[in-house]
Homo-oligomer: A and B are copies of this chain.
Amino acid sequence: MAVYTKLGAETMAAIIAQFNVGTLVSAKGIAEGVSNSNWLIEAQRAEEKPVRYILTVYESRVETGDLPFFLGLLDHLAERGCPVPRTIHDSDNHAYRMHEGKALALIEFLPGVSVDEPTAGQAHAVGAALAQIHIAAADFAQTRENSLALPGWKVLLDACGAEGLTSIHPELAMIVARELKSLAAQWPTDLPRGVIHADLFPDNVLMLGESVTGLIDFYFACTDVRAYDYAITHAAWCFSANGAVHYPERAAALAAGYAETHGLSAAEIADLPMLGQGAALRFTLTRAYDWLNTPADALVTRKDPMAFARRMDWYARATPAQVLGG
């Protein structure tokens, strides 16, 4: 991922000066974030040690109107002890500032690395952290519609087109249309809702050993069915990268971690396979859209949509107990 916005050192120093964190000491553009530009910043107050922050400039995909939700949520969760980065407010107590027409925010830096091949112990810790944010967000006052729920999936399907999907895999257009129709007919409307992360992949979790040190990248967070967030997290953590193998021991650990502080109701558990199908469909569609709209020679790795089409197939055949690692 590139850094899209160019910020000279002088401009960067002027921006940082508005946040009451001292003087800019170092700034490195980092190769993270799907559609934002990010820098790892170091600033220092007189007589104190340098402190690190992430400076994010929001590019096209993030609506400025959504920032009070995203950044307010971070502060809300951090205040309640969740492992999420705090937003550093500027000297006027704003959570973000505008710079040349783009919003930017300064965010706490958290240690930790993102794992590629999670252990069961790591899946357990992520399950517990997911339950923790579900509980802590219960009294968060703001709401945000999930733009990637059922109606959004239809928009993505139309944008890809049957021909596009067929160019990825001969049967993909047919599979996606069938799943979408089936899910639209049965998608649950009565399960408990709340604020969900909606994208809790290993990339978005910082860990040290088997401890979660940070949940990051809340830019898909929204108000939706909580068990759907659980299903997304299961889809993200409990399969081989290509979606061909399900790991029951990770699934059982994820469920045990989630149950430690929160737990799923019988109604939520009964719907897990369908929620998993929905989660897998959502990522199949967004990956397919990106696949069809990313030049093959761009310096960006295209992620294979079929890795989630395979998960969709797994959920279609799975029992609730199997999603829980049984």
Query: Which residues of A are in contact with B by a Cβ distance under 8 Å?
Result: 1-3, 6, 8-13, 24-32, 40, 42, 50, 111-117, 206-208, 295, 297-301
Task: State whether B8 touches A115 (Cβ < 8 A).
Answer: yes
Task: State whether B117 touches A25 (Cβ < 8 A).
Answer: no
Question: Do A25 and B299 contact each other (CB < 8 Å), given the known contacts A8-B115, A42-B111?
Answer: no
CA distance A207 to B24 in the complex (A): 11
Q: Closest residue to A207 on the B side, CB-wise?
A: B9
CB-CB under 8 A from A8, the residues of chain B are: 115-117
- A277 to B: closest C-beta gap in Å: 28
> Of residues A27, A40, A113, which shows the largest number of chain B Cβ atoms within 10 Å of its Cβ?
A113
- A54 to B: closest C-beta gap in Å: 9
- A33 to B: closest C-beta gap in Å: 11
Of all A-B residue pairs in the complex, the 9 with the closest CB atoms, nearest first, are: A8-B116, A29-B31, A9-B113, A2-B299, A3-B31, A28-B30, A26-B111, A9-B115, A25-B111
Task: State whether B112 touches A10 (Cβ < 8 A).
Answer: no
- A22 to B: closest C-beta gap in Å: 12
Task: State whether A50 touches B299 (Cβ < 8 A).
Answer: no
CB-CB under 8 A from A115, the residues of chain B are: 8-10
- A36 to B: closest C-beta gap in Å: 12
CA distance A31 to B50 in the complex (A): 22
CB-CB under 8 A from A300, the residues of chain B are: 2, 299
